[in-house]
Amino acid sequence: MNYQTGSEITIQIKAKFRKHYDVIVCGGGTAGCIAAIAAARNGAKTLLIERSGTPGGMMTTGNAGLTKFIVHNRDVEQYKDILKELETSPQKVQVAGGLPLELANRLIKEGAAVGTAHTAGSYVFTSKLKFKWLLLDMFEKANVSLLFFSSVVDVLMENNEIKGVIVQNKAGHEIYTAGCVIDATGDGDVAALAGVPFVMGVSENDLAAKCCAAIGSMQDMGVLFRIANIDIEMFLDYLEKAPEKYEIQCFGLLTLEQVRKSHKNNEMFVFNIKVNEEFGEVQFYNTPEKGVFIIGCPCITGNGLDADELTRCEIGVNKIVSRMFDALKQLQGLENAFIVDCPDLCVRETRHIMGEYILTSDDILNNVHFEDCIGRGCHPIDISPIPPETLEYPIGDRWSFQIPYRCIVPQKVENLLIAGRCISADREASGSTRTTVQCMVTGQAAGTAAALCVKENVTPRKLDSKKIVNVLLEQGAVL
């Protein structure tokens, strides 16, 4: 039989029915893990499906940090006041509570993470293995069922309702049904299979399209790699003698003096340094392990939904890491450093799922109030290229924003919720909602909403948003 490249071929597969659950969460990243725990704690019989054998996503397989828990300010001096208040009255400046804060503070208390003032501040970097172990412990205590090494390849639909998912693993194709499904895949794979409308990358309505980015283009993909055996005291001495190389990291806002203080107190610190013309500013994040740092972020342009593109970019970014590491080893204090690990390429942007409400840059910059708010965010818009008007906009001195429930309820398809990177937001707004803490915030909301839907026998679209708001408040969420 002769096939033409790009032609579509219909095939039939056999799939075995396995089990029914109240809630199925697809994707075991930061959003999916929290969604599963939240659903189970709220009484739902819950299954978490993850394509790898490691839950936690960017926190365990991507070397990322938890960011961001506290209100933001662009002024370094005013940001110092926020950090002081974090020491005395953290509840006044932390904008993420509930499960995300519970998890972060437990890691910090157990010495498996570095925070600020013994709690979660701007960044929390962790021991990736202990993060995984903590998640496994939380799953067990909440009675979450786990299915690792399984990928969702199709969905079961009845008219416009999703009834379950088809997974592929070593046993072949298997069917799992549910009262409610949560798409926490990051790329919106389940929603797309179910027929939910979406946009890819930059759309014509985004600010980026009007100034600096092509329609359909996506954020660069990148990688955070982990290096060990840094002599941090020597390195900081070197930066003090060469201040032109030190840059305040725009989300951490720590001076070199504050970095020294944080290092002395075994707290989180982050800064940028100028290495050479090729790499520009390189980010340094400390970890709980002495002498071990996360380095970011070598980037490369490509399509995160195209396997050929992903392959090309994976090879390309590793070449960049190799050159960057060679340059870093020329700096004092880093001569004896070595790479501990370099994870697979991390994707920042693909599908933006279209929900009942699309969160916009105007909404977040103006901290618009929503009656159906299910969580807050405080991470500045992090996209590249970034529209200049978002940088120049006069945000408040203790800035954060609200995320409405309607952003996790997709259009057209029933019994489905969205959590994490692909919630309903324009490109600029998603640059603030895609970060790990905000992914966990939407994960807790989605898991809680799914459990309520099953309990009350209603679809997410018909769920009274006041009920989920009240339950989230009872569970310590900051709204």
Condensed to tens digits (0 to 9), the pLDDT of residues 282-295 reads 999 999 999 999 99
Of residues 58 and 5, more confidence is placed in 58
Residue range 297-316, pLDDT digits in tens: 899 999 999 999 999 999 99
Q: What is the CA radius of gyration of the chain?
A: 22
Same domain, 30 and 90: yes
Residue range 410-435, pLDDT digits in tens: 999 999 999 999 999 999 999 999 99
Q: How far is CA 201 from CA 304, 377, 435, in A?
A: 10, 21, 16
**pLDDT(205) > 80:** yes
Same domain, 156 and 173: yes
**pLDDT(12) > 90:** no
Same domain, 38 and 121: yes
Mean pLDDT on 428-455 = 97
Determine which of 109-113, 279-283, 392-396 has the lowest per-residue pLDDT on average. Answer: 392-396
Domain-embedded: residue 414: yes
Residue 73, token pair as written in the block: 């300010």
In whole angstroms, give the CA distance from residue 258 to residue 157: 55
Same domain, 415 and 362: yes
Share of the chain above pLDDT 90, in %: 86
In whole angstroms, give the CA distance from residue 309 to residue 109: 41
Q: Are 152 and 49 in contact (CB under 8 A)?
A: yes
**pLDDT(1) > 70:** no
**pLDDT(383) > 70:** yes
Q: How far is CA 154 from CA 27, 161, 163, 180, in A?
A: 14, 14, 11, 16
**pLDDT(2) > 80:** no
Same domain, 181 and 243: no
Same domain, 157 and 227: no
Question: Mean pLDDT, the chain, as a whole number?
Answer: 95
Q: How confident is the model at residue 211 (pLDDT cuts 50, 70, 90)?
A: confident
Q: Which of these three, 321, 341, 361, is where a domain ends?
A: 341
**pLDDT(7) > 90:** no
What's the one-letter identity of residue 255?
Answer: T
pTM here?
0.96
Same domain, 312 and 371: no
CATH for 402: 3.50.50.60
Q: Which of these three, 341, 373, 394, is where a domain ends?
A: 341
Is the backbone of residue 122 left (phi > 0), alpha (psi -120 to 50) or beta? alpha
Which of helix, strand or coil describes residue 277? coil
Tell me the residue ranges of DSSP E strands in 303-424: 338-341, 351-353, 373-377, 401-404, 416-418
Per-residue burial over 60-96, b if 16 or more Cβ lie within 10 Å, else e, is bbbbbbbbbbbbbbeeeeebeebbebbeeebeebbbb
Residue 235, token pair as written in the block: 């390195």
Q: Which structural domain range is residue 280 located in?
A: 221-341
Q: Which residues lie below 8 Å from residue 457, measured CB to CB, with a gap of 6+?
A: none
The number of distinct structural domains making up the chain is 2
- pLDDT for the residue numbered 74: 87
Same domain, 336 and 354: no
Same domain, 336 and 363: no
Domain-embedded: residue 448: yes
Domain-embedded: residue 67: yes
Residue 279, token pair as written in the block: 């790499």
Q: How far is CA 105 from CA 90, 191, 286, in A?
A: 12, 33, 17
Q: How confident is the model at residue 249 (pLDDT cuts 50, 70, 90)?
A: confident
**pLDDT(386) > 90:** no
Same domain, 67 and 17: yes
Same domain, 43 and 170: yes
Residue range 305-361, pLDDT digits in tens: 999 999 999 999 999 999 999 999 999 999 999 999 999 999 999 999 999 999 999
Mean pLDDT on 260-284 = 91
**pLDDT(11) > 90:** no
Same domain, 123 and 198: yes
Mean pLDDT on 16-41 = 98
